[in-house]
Amino acid sequence: MGAATAFPLPEGLAMNEIGGSMIMPVMTDTSLCLSVIAAWKGVEYLMGHSPAFAHLSYETQALQSLRRKLLGQGQAAVTDEAILSAVLLWATATMFAQPDALRRHAAGVQALVAARGGLSTIGRAGSIGQAASIRQLILWADFLTAQFLGEDVLFGELGPTGADDDAPMPPSLAKLSVVAAVPAPFNSLLGPETVKAARDMKLLLVSHDTATRTGRLSIAEYKYLMQLLNKSTIERIGLAYRLRGSHSLDEAVVLAMNLLRLTTLFHAGPLVPIVVAVISRLRKTLAYMTTLESIDTLPPSGGGGITDDSYSSSSSHSSPFPPFPPPPPTQPSSPNYIDLYIWACFVGLVNTFESENRSHFIEMLGTALARRYTYTYRYRGGARDASWPDDWQRDILEMLRSFLWSDAVLTPLFPDACLMIESYLLSPTSSGGVSGGVVIEGWSVPESDKSSRGGKS
């Protein structure tokens, strides 16, 4: 559980305030003991250190033990240990990302919590004594399952998580929240709920960068940030569920924020299928949303159009931006829309989770960046100039950082992403029409990062 905590633990915060003291319960409760062993065997299997049947055997034994206890003792068996046993099996199942198994485990935990009387009653029966750790684990398993399945969370009201849920924002974070503001032009394109989610995410990302850089985080700051992380995760996944299928800018931005939650605020290395599912969902939304003529924030299509070879639709994927006449320089919505589109594409591209989605993001970015610089330079000096500036990478990084970005996690990967884009534009198959070069399918992750994070973003 500590490994999945987004922020570094502050000095003076005892580990049992986060994870609970579970040595005695594990040693004395058969179901919980078997669940812990099953979880460990699952990790060993994914690391290639243990055969699959070892994990499956202990998982089966844990389920059988829990079932016998519930059948034999009834309501009296619904203890902290029983709930934690079921939650551990659910959390372990997220590493394997099988839809049916995830739904079964989720339904089992939901039934146990309901039989207990709700999340707020956890901690009143059993010897664990750290109910917050159980609730935190439920949140993680719930949000990972929802992310993989594209559904809403089951536990929308998580209850106390040991993070001082009613504590005021520490003065240091209040000061930081003023500086970490979302650009007003972006706010004007998004709905109120999306803007609120973006403000929460901005504070989390800036705080995470600061804590990672300085290594300093007070207990009050840590608990408030974990409270905000938990609450905003639930709200944002619910918002994504309500927006799903709308193919709107709001949906794309919320999906990108959900991906940032996994790639920057969670150690998701073993959860490749879940992260790739979120990346795919974002990519499909971005590819589809710009084909709808009803999107108000898109510039009007038709008539005239841009005829540059670099904007032709000769590539394997359709252009994310249809041809349209040049807008007057006073129209701010189109450049800001494209900037948000570019930001969402970079969030999908800049991570260490390789998949077939990567080439799609590269191509969409190639077209969108070309369109961005057409807007920027079309009226410079009264002449048409669609060339990219020499410092386009610095220019784009500045834009990304102004919205939602992580210098600690994403900026080190950004140069490789730019090389992929330039390689694509120089390839004979791209719509750029310039020969030479191929798309780079990999990241030059430092060796120290590989050993310490093991594929985590």
Say if 92 falls within a structural domain.
yes
The confidence score (pLDDT) of residue 412 equals 97
Say if 109 falls within a structural domain.
yes
Full residue range of the structural domain in which residue 79 is found: 21-129
The confidence score (pLDDT) of residue 26 equals 73
The confidence score (pLDDT) of residue 223 equals 86
Question: Is 262 found in the same domain as 121?
Answer: no
Say if 191 falls within a structural domain.
no
Say if 15 falls within a structural domain.
no
Structural contact between residues 239 and 248, judged by C-beta atoms closer than 8 angstroms: no
Say if 172 falls within a structural domain.
no
Q: Which among 129, 160, 188 is the end of a domain?
A: 129
- Report residues of the chain scoring pLDDT below 50: 16-20, 126-129, 161-164, 291-333, 379-385, 432-457
Q: Which among 66, 97, 129 is the end of a domain?
A: 129
Say if 273 falls within a structural domain.
yes
Per-residue burial over 238-271, b = 16 or more CB atoms within 10 Å of its CB, e = otherwise:
bbbeebbeebbbbbbbbbbbbbbbbbbbbbbbbb
Question: Is 255 found in the same domain as 118?
Answer: no
Question: Is 413 found in the same domain as 277?
Answer: yes
d(CA 368, CA 362): 10
Model confidence pTM above 0.85: no
Question: Is 445 found in the same domain as 307?
Answer: yes
The confidence score (pLDDT) of residue 444 equals 39
Q: What is the dihedral of CA 312, 398, 299, 432, to 10 degrees?
A: 0
d(CA 308, CA 432): 9
The confidence score (pLDDT) of residue 185 equals 86
The confidence score (pLDDT) of residue 267 equals 81
The confidence score (pLDDT) of residue 289 equals 73
DSSP state, 143? H
Q: Which among 91, 114, 129 is the end of a domain?
A: 129
Structurally, how many domains does the chain consist of? 2
pLDDT tens for 74-113 read 999 998 889 999 999 999 999 999 999 999 999 999 999 9
Say if 160 falls within a structural domain.
no
**Helix residue ranges, H only, 403-446:** 414-426
Question: Is 266 found in the same domain as 123?
Answer: no
Say if 139 falls within a structural domain.
no
The confidence score (pLDDT) of residue 290 equals 59
